[in-house]
Structure 1
Amino acid sequence: MSHVKEYMVRTMNSVTPDDSIRKAIILMYRSEQSVLPVVDHQNLFVGTIYSNNILKNIIPESFGFLDSSRLFYEVNEAVENLKYVKDEKVEKYMARNRDAVKENSDMKKIADIMLNNKESHLFVINDKGFLRGFIERSNLLHYLLDEAEDKRND
């Protein structure tokens, strides 16, 4: 049986509820991630901050098709709104108690979660709730490849 800890990524950035939205945006950009884990000062996983949560609060209209005449206006308004939001705390925009998976979970369970719930990214915690890493679909594909090659060699 394969476990999450065998396939997860252990290196990542995180923010605390007290960090600014500005810091979260910079870390998202630098790490090329649209979601970050939120941890307390002891690294206990408490939630997630999504780029979409920030965007929904600075773009006045819901996501969808914008005609080209409104696009310039929307971008300018988003910039103005971000001037006010950037110094607010992550805690205001984060999703609390977002489900995480345990590092000792069976990879078959993770495959089920990712494929049935259309999750592309899951954070990994230990038994005490401390953040250990994350797992994404590319890690799932690696697991599936290993399984396919193991079955071929049987």
Structure 2
Amino acid sequence: MSIVKKYMMRTLNSVCASDKLEDVIEVMHRTEMSVLPVVSYENEFLGTIYGKNILRNIIPEEYGFLESHRLLYEVNQAAENLDEIKDKKVKEYMSTNTVPIKEMSKMDNLADIMLHNDESYLFVINEDNKLRGYISRADLLCYLLDVGEDRR
């Protein structure tokens, strides 16, 4: 039986609850990750910060189609709104109800957790709640390929 530790990615960036949103946005851009784990200074997993949550706080209208005559206004308004909150701390915008997965968990359980929570990434912790890495849907697919090959 395969465990998460075998398929997870160990290299990732994280942020602290006291980091500024401006810095988090730059890390998201640089790493091409729209969700980042939030950790304590001791690397304990505290939650996640989603680019989507930041956008929801700066875009005046709900997600969806913007009329072309309003597009410039919306972009300018969003930029102004972001300028107002860019110095705020991650702890004000982070999600603490994110469910991490233990590195020794069985891969068979991963699909249910990932799909039930509608997550592309799950952050992986050890028994001491320390962040160890992440696992993605692509890693889940790789595991499933391995299972298929083992059945031949």
TM over 0.5: yes
Deviation at 1:97, TM superposition (A): 4.1
Deviation at 1:116, TM superposition (A): 3.6
SS class of match (1:42): coil
Matched, 1:46 2:46: yes
Which residue of the partner structure matches residue 21 of structure 2? 21
The 1:114–1:97 alpha-carbon spacing in structure 2 relative to 1, beyond 3 Å, is closer
Matched, 1:123 2:123: yes
Q: Matched residues in 1 for 2:59 and 2:105: separation? A: 38
Q: Matched residues in 2 for 1:8 and 1:90: separation? A: 25
1:50, 1:94 within 8 Å by CA — same for their partners in 2? yes
Deviation at 1:120, TM superposition (A): 1.3
Q: Matched residues in 2 for 1:87 and 1:140: separation? A: 37
Correspondence list, 1:1-150, <5 A = 1-150=1-150
Letter in 2 for 1:133: G
SS class of match (1:96): coil
SS class of match (2:16): coil
Q: Matched residues in 2 for 1:82 and 1:117: separation? A: 28
Q: Deviations over 1:13-41 (max 9, x none)?
A: 00000000011101101110000000000
Q: Matched residues in 2 for 1:117 and 1:47: separation? A: 14
Q: Matched residues in 2 for 1:44 and 1:115: separation? A: 24
Q: Deviations over 1:48-75 (max 9, x none)?
A: 0000110011111111111111111100
Q: Matched residues in 1 for 2:70 and 2:95: separation? A: 30
Q: Matched residues in 2 for 1:99 and 1:58: separation? A: 26
TM-score, normalised via structure 2 length: 0.97
Deviation at 1:76, TM superposition (A): 0.4
Q: Deviations over 1:125-148 (max 9, x none)?
A: 001101000000000011000010
Q: Point out where structure 1 has 5 or more consecutive residues left out of the alignment.
A: none
